[in-house]
Structure 1
């Protein structure tokens, strides 16, 4: 039975039908993020490049994500979020197949960067779910629960991808890189049809226009800013022109701000972004990106450092390090699953504060407690639980705070600010660990470098915790909760 606009009256039916297919898409996103990790050394050999060259692949994909997500999210608000999901999935599939045949550094770099279109999936998915639930008084809470399920799918996919990539390469495909890379390409291709036939389109707002100039100015500013952070990591803080590029990037936001403030339908509505329910969410996303995107590689290198040589570290083998990362991912799943429960009992705002506080405690606790595996696992699982909740909570909170017709761009901005935070962390942590290399212990950084990583991660989460106290007490709640 449907209402006047043809929408099923049962929100549970909508959620089950919609989230079921989006669950598959987010599972695929996780596979893409985990599948290639155990193959990095083999890809380096396949392309005849160095380990350091592989850093350019990560930098290029992060850059494309920062530039593409706001535009595709805005186009989703204008032309339909499902349509943009299909476009981004098709581009991701094409790039994944291109990786199969790419045999040199340049073509592989381009294909790897273009594969980053998957980064817009979660913001568009949350916007779709929120749009379908907007007509119900429980739409906000339904979006939170669905976002938690999607993050669970993401992390399960990441674990499956990490385990499957190495196993398929070494076992089924007998060391064939093209055959191994064809698997994720096939998965993305199949999920395209699942979205095409299984996901309903969102309601579009008439009379919208694309602010091309605004997006060009925003892209230029983001390009300079994120590029400068990448160059800072690669060239070091002593390179003067890196700081010039960074200053130019920050200054480039000024003409962007002046332009969009004069538009009726801007690329990004800065006035809506400045609302007390929105700006703390977006700032939190940026601060959260520092730890969730920047701390995993330092964790892996710390776990692999031999304590008998360096005087610190866990001395774990690559297999044991994979298990540690797997346990961390499981803690993210637990955090995502528990977020909806605690947000319903405590209020969404308090649940967000608790999540950022867990990240704070987890990373600060590593400073005194890092002497053995049990201590490190306890700390990263505390931080992981908070991180899993935030991955689910931030786009859902942005959707709840967004004005009508701006859900996609609001959720997309949480991804963009998170990416910028990750780029900052990558540059800062790279410098901290590189400048602290201890003489006589090979490439191992000094313990002070790791202290810097943990302090920055903990401090950024602490700042986010404080900022969330400025959010109105009844923010992100269903209308029935505030009546």
Structure 2
């Protein structure tokens, strides 16, 4: 990978840095106060996973749709629509104390998850005339992720400090106002993609995919309520999985599909998508359990750190600083080795860090140390996976490819949130009625799953072609395509 100039980065990134900063605030701000929200809504700690699960289901549905529409009608246009919808949902949160309404608003706030893939597609489009296109996109993605993590740090520290001193409703209003400001910044400061691919929106494909995801996630949610001994939730899970078959068959027959499922056949893209799904388990599904574990009173329960909102936010802040470092060092490491090997190493760090939490969860310092290791690997993966997908995708489907990366990651996180909710609630049935803490065995299950899935993704990436995600591969594919059109002799 070649060095990228500051001027080329400024050309393609621009005001998108502020958009990702806002995205980071949304991702970090609420985490230190999840226990306070649970008490405010009078729900169990394990029920917090419903928030993440519902939001991730919405995200899994809208990411492919908005990514496809971005390629069709303009990435900025869809960025504006998603920001407007996120603002409406964020403004609704402070004004309800109903668990059901709060859950709906929290879920709809998940429209922000499409921002990063739309931004990567914008960057890829703007860098079309640059000689180092893959390197520019990868480095720009690293800067966006660094901005995202800075926002998450600012959000976590601010949220953790404010929840200890202000009413919850006031605290919840602050990120909503920031999203409104973000909408204005996009409207005024972000330029549209140089050209749009056009095409037709695949409504039938969207309906089939929505049905599959809703039935599947509904089955997992019902499994939490009905228990593993009830066959109905398992049947719903199976039906949801089987619904993917008619969806895939329909997509293969379309000239302009919602998701080009042929991408999963690509030797370079298939491991990226699988890694994204497995990575989503930890980077999205494990956030709420980390917060509730830190807030658990060790004197009353025999485990936990008993931290305040602010001390919890410090754990998250240090973890996010590690993610920034991981995102920024990925490109120079990949330049010295290869992007493929750098991704393998990042996945291994995530796996090692989570598995180390099982024996090293007893003190504040050891938990922070484990999360630093996880953060270094996670930051590299968050930055690299969308850029890798863009580099490996057909030129007219970069938005779809980067969106699909986030969709698969989000689906992995949604499945993990539902699964973790079951694990964390499993021991609560036998505890005292007034207890709201999840069992320690449930946290062990969460960390084990996160660690094992990360190590599996590292193994999958070993089989990616060694020149994947580089300009050499993009140039070779362009020559091959031109040869097929008779443009190169």
Fold shared, TM-score > 0.5 on shorter chain: yes
Structure 1 residue 192 corresponds to structure 2 residue 183: yes
- Bigger Cα displacement from structure 2, 305-314 vs 376-385: 305-314
Match for residue 155 of structure 2 among 143, 152, 161: 161
C-alpha distance in structure 2 between counterparts of 1:136 and 1:56, whole Å: 44
Structure 1 residue 30 corresponds to structure 2 residue 24: yes
Match for residue 81 of structure 1 among 61, 69, 75: 75
- 1:296 maps to what in 2? 287
Q: 2:282, 2:450 within 8 Å by CA — same for their partners in 1?
A: yes
- 1:460 maps to what in 2? 453
Match for residue 408 of structure 1 among 399, 406, 413: 399
> How far 1:247 sits from its partner (Å)?
0.8
C-alpha distance in structure 2 between counterparts of 1:107 and 1:453, whole Å: 27
Q: 2:52, 2:414 within 8 Å by CA — same for their partners in 1?
A: no
> How far 1:392 sits from its partner (Å)?
0.9
- 2:485 maps to what in 1? none
Structure 1 residue 233 corresponds to structure 2 residue 224: yes
Write out per-residue CA displacement over residues 431-468 of structure 1, whole angstroms, 9 at most, x where no aligned residue: 33333469789666555443332322121111111111
- 2:381 maps to what in 1? 390
Q: 2:326, 2:379 within 8 Å by CA — same for their partners in 1?
A: yes
SS at match of 2:396: coil
> How far 1:342 sits from its partner (Å)?
1.0
> How far 1:332 sits from its partner (Å)?
1.3
Structure 1 residue 476 corresponds to structure 2 residue 450: no
> How far 1:28 sits from its partner (Å)?
0.7
Alignment of 1:333-344 (within 5 A): 333-344=324-335
Gap runs ≥5 in structure 1 = 1-9
Q: Could you say what the CA RMSD is over the residues aligned between the two structures, in angstroms?
A: 2.9
Q: Residues 348 and 86 of structure 1: is their aligned pair in 2 closer, same or farther, counting only changes over 3 Å?
A: same
- 2:167 maps to what in 1? 175
- 1:126 maps to what in 2? 120
C-alpha distance in structure 2 between counterparts of 1:447 and 1:37, whole Å: 20
SS at match of 2:129: coil
Q: Residues 224 and 392 of structure 1: is their aligned pair in 2 closer, same or farther, counting only changes over 3 Å?
A: same
Q: 2:32, 2:312 within 8 Å by CA — same for their partners in 1?
A: no
C-alpha distance in structure 1 between counterparts of 2:345 and 2:35, whole Å: 39
C-alpha distance in structure 1 between counterparts of 2:359 and 2:328, whole Å: 29
Match for residue 243 of structure 2 among 246, 252, 261: 252
SS at match of 1:294: coil
- Bigger Cα displacement from structure 2, 93-102 vs 279-288: 93-102
Structure 1 residue 360 corresponds to structure 2 residue 354: no
C-alpha distance in structure 1 between counterparts of 2:92 and 2:300, whole Å: 43
- Bigger Cα displacement from structure 2, 353-362 vs 424-433: 424-433
C-alpha distance in structure 2 between counterparts of 1:168 and 1:376, whole Å: 23
Q: 1:148, 1:393 within 8 Å by CA — same for their partners in 2?
A: yes
Q: 2:44, 2:436 within 8 Å by CA — same for their partners in 1?
A: no
Structure 1 residue 379 corresponds to structure 2 residue 370: yes
Write out per-residue CA displacement over residues 218-276 of structure 1, whole angstroms, 9 at most, x where no aligned residue: 11111112222233334432332111111110010111111111111111111123100
C-alpha distance in structure 2 between counterparts of 1:413 and 1:357, whole Å: 23
- Bigger Cα displacement from structure 2, 20-29 vs 103-112: 103-112
Count of residue correspondences: 470
> How far 1:161 sits from its partner (Å)?
1.6
Q: Residues 345 and 112 of structure 1: is their aligned pair in 2 closer, same or farther, counting only changes over 3 Å?
A: same
Q: 1:137, 1:480 within 8 Å by CA — same for their partners in 2?
A: no
- Bigger Cα displacement from structure 2, 458-467 vs 373-382: 373-382
Q: 1:57, 1:112 within 8 Å by CA — same for their partners in 2?
A: yes
> TM-score normalised to the size of structure 2?
0.87
- 1:137 maps to what in 2? 131
C-alpha distance in structure 2 between counterparts of 1:59 and 1:427, whole Å: 6
C-alpha distance in structure 1 between counterparts of 2:418 and 2:75, whole Å: 33
Alignment of 1:413-432 (within 5 A): 413-432=404-423
C-alpha distance in structure 1 between counterparts of 2:309 and 2:172, whole Å: 22
SS at match of 1:395: helix
Q: 2:277, 2:412 within 8 Å by CA — same for their partners in 1?
A: yes
Highest RCO, 1 vs 2 (Cα 8 Å, sep ≥ 6) = 2
C-alpha distance in structure 2 between counterparts of 1:384 and 1:44, whole Å: 26
- 1:4 maps to what in 2? none
- 2:253 maps to what in 1? 262
> How far 1:37 sits from its partner (Å)?
3.4
> How far 1:57 sits from its partner (Å)?
3.6
> How far 1:205 sits from its partner (Å)?
4.3
Q: Residues 26 and 234 of structure 1: is their aligned pair in 2 closer, same or farther, counting only changes over 3 Å?
A: farther
